[in-house]
Structure 1
Amino acid sequence: MRALAKTAPEPGLHLVDVPVPETDGDRVLIKVLRTGVCGTDLHIDGWDDWAARVVRPPLVLGHEFVGEVTAVGPEVTKVEPGDIVSGEGHLVCGTCRNCMAGRRHLCIRTIGLGVHTDGAFAEYVALPESNVWVHRHPIDLDVAAIFDPFGNAVHTALSFPVLNEDVLITGAGPIGMMAAAIASHAGARNVVITDVSEPRLALAQKLGATVALDVGKSKISDVLAELDMSEGFDIGMEMSGRADALQDMIATMSPGGRIAILGLPTGDVSVDMSTIVTRMLTLRGIYGREMFETWYAMSVLLQGGLDISPVITHRFGYEQHAEAFDTARSGRCGKVVIDWTRPTL
């Protein structure tokens, strides 16, 4: 089968021929239909310091996908051939304290699909049945392909109640945009999102942000008066991984404010601890999705009318992977989807 792989410890990816994964035990074989390009994939493609530390070539990339089940192992009990499925890309041990307590998203021995083991940028991928999410309701395939990052957005946006609250989101990447849509759908009073990319800010506003602020031109504090917010934001969602974004967020939170942090910084971050203490702020780290409560919430949100499809701005065939990655890296797009049923679009 054709697959997009990191073949050597250096920048670049290659389309190669690799064997179709075996279907034994509790494994499910899935014919991949669509995949989403993630920031993690860009790091591996560029072979930065993080990728060089973590990834061991040869490796098939990809963890955002939707596909059709074609075969199942003898220990599979519920998933059936013909099911349309997405996959939870965090493979957990099942035996550590958190796994045994039902907190699988906190597994200390998590393995990443497309990072530590061969992933979904291929014609077929195999997963344990426990990592397969069956779409029981009609769903657009492109949207189903980005359930992984959609889950990050849901996990972050719903970590704290947002009904009637004033929400600040720093970072209008695809996950930040989806978080804006979720917060608005869930009843937030105001949703302010910040970035320096005008195309992404415009798209975030289309998805439901009350204010899309270019922090290269304006300050977050200027928005408070504009929206008649005298005490600051109630809920913060840090999506950018930038130290200055978190610092600005902390400075504009109301007393008792709560911050969910998804963005991963590349270096040390200094914060104003006196403000955190005296305003009694709560900071919570977010990683991935709660398995499978977040997945259930994703499906219910879509059934309830949430539309995240505008976040998908570009589509490519699998032979156009270089163009797809360049587009995703440009910062002037939403989600980029690769169609694995066609070489070009």
Structure 2
Amino acid sequence: MKALFKSAAQPGFEFVERPEPEPSAAEVKVRVLRTGLCGTDLHIESWDAWAQSEIKTPLIPGHEFYGEVVEVGTAVRGVEVGDRVSGEGHIVCGACRNCRAGRRHLCIHTLSVGVHRDGAFAEYVVIPESNVWVHQEDIEPDLGAVFDPLGNAVHTALSFPLVGEDVLITGAGPIGLMAAAVARHVGARYVVITDVSEPRLELARKLGVDLALNVGVSAISEAQQALGMREGFDVGLEMSGHPGALPEMISNMNHGGRIAMLGLPSQPIIVDWGKVVTHMITVKGIYGREMFETWYAMSAMLQSGAELKRAVTAVVTDRYAAEDWAEGFARARSGSGGKVVLDWSTV
């Protein structure tokens, strides 16, 4: 099969022939049709400090995908050949305290598809049956490929009640844009999103946010004035990882405000903890998805919300043939568009 392959501990990938994976008794083999490009994949391709500390080569990366089941192991009971599926990329141990308590997303032994084992940047991928998500209706392949990052957005956005609340989102990347659409869908009053990329801010405006603010030229406090807000934001969703985003968000929160952090900082952040205490602000870290409550929630919202489905689909702005992966990675790295997907259906 064709695959994007990192053969050694160095920058770059190779588009080469690799042996097809075969499922064990409890695993499922999927013919990959689409894959999404994630920031994790960019780190692995560039072979930065994080990748060097986390990745063992050789490896086929990729964890966001949509495809068709072509083979199931002898112990598989709930997935059938022909099912159209996506996959939960976090494989958990099932035996630690959190797993046994039903909090699998908090497993201390989590292994990631495309990071710790071969992933979906290939014609075929194998994952455990327990990680397969079978789509119950016709889903466009591009949309199916972004269920993983949509799950990140849903997990972050639904961390706190949003009905009637004023929501601040820092970072208008693909997941931030999806979170804005989710916040609007569930009934937030005002949805404000910030970034320094005008193309991404323009995309946010098309998705229906109340205000898309370029923080390179304007302060977040100006957003409050423009919307006639008398108090600070009720809920903050930090999606950027920029070291200045969280302190600025905290300074614009209402007393009792709640912040969910998905953005992974690249360096230490200086926080005014005195304000966090005196304003009674809650800060919650988010990683991945709640397995599988988030998957049920996002599937249900897409089924019941045509506008949300349209908005999430619109976040996918670029598609490249798998063999043109280098162009796709360059586009994703530019930070000027939405989600980039690779098409494996014609390989």
TM-score (norm 1): 0.98
Deviations 1:180-205 (A, max 9, x none): 00001111000000000000011112
Rounded Cα–Cα distance in structure 2 between residues aligned with 1:24 and 1:164: 49
2:321 to 304, 317, 320: 317
- Structure 1 counterpart SS, 2:244: helix
Counterpart AA for 2:275: T
**Shift in Å at residue 208 of structure 1?**
2.5
SS state of the match for residue 177, structure 2? helix
Residue pair 2:2, 2:17 contacting (<8 A) in 1 also: yes
The amino acid of 1:315's aligned partner reads: R
Structure 2 CA distance, aligned partners of 1:272 and 1:304?
41
Is residue 2:63 matched to residue 1:63? yes
User: After the TM superposition, which segments of 4 or more aligned residues of structure 1 sit over 3 Å from their partners?
Assistant: none
Give the SS at the match of 1:323: helix
Structure 2 counterpart of 1:129, one-letter code:
E
Report the CA distance between 1:124 and its aligned residue.
0.3
Cα deviation, residue 17, structure 1: 1.3
Contact kept in structure 2, 1:150 and 1:298, CA below 8 Å:
yes
Match of residue 35 from structure 2: 35
SS at match of 2:161: coil
Task: State the secondary structure of the residue aligned to 2:98.
Answer: helix
Q: What do the CA deviations read for 1:195-225 (whole angstroms, capped 9, x no partner)? A: 0000001111212211000001100001111
Q: Identify the residue that residue 241 of structure 1 maps to in structure 2.
A: 241
Q: Which amino acid in structure 2 is aligned with residue 115 of structure 1? A: V
Give the structure 2 partner of residue 102 of structure 1. 102
Distance 1:277 1:94 in 2: 36
Give the match for residue 342 of structure 2.
338
Superposed CA RMSD in Å reads 0.7
Aligned residues: 343
2:151 corresponds to 1:147? no
Deviates more, 1:282-291 or 1:266-275: 266-275
Q: What is the identity, as a one-letter code, of the residue corresponding to 1:216?
A: G
Find the counterpart in structure 2 of residue 228 from structure 1: 228
Specify the alignment match of 2:132 in structure 1: 132
**Residues 1-345 of structure 1 mapped to structure 2, 5 A cutoff:** 1-305=1-305, 306-307=308-309, 308-343=312-347
Letter in 1 for 2:109: R
Specify the SS of the correspondent of 1:191.
strand
Instruction: Tell me, yes or no, if the aligned pair for 2:243 and 2:266 is still in contact at 8 Å.
Output: no
Asked if the contact 1:178–1:207 (Cα under 8 Å) also holds between the matched residues in 2, the reply is no
Shift of 1:249: 0.2
Gaps spanning 5+ residues in structure 2: where?
none
Letter in 2 for 1:320: D
> What is the identity, as a one-letter code, of the residue corresponding to 1:235?
V
Q: Which runs of 5+ in 1 are unaligned?
A: none
1:302-342 CA distance string (max 9 Å, x none): 11122211100000111000000000000111000100012
Q: Percent identity?
A: 62
Partner-residue secondary structure (3-state), 2:31: strand
Q: Kindly provide the amino acid, as one letter, of the partner of residue 133 in structure 2.
A: W
Answer whether contact 1:3 1:17 (CA < 8 A) is retained: yes
- Distance between the aligned counterparts of 2:24 and 2:117, measured in 1? 17
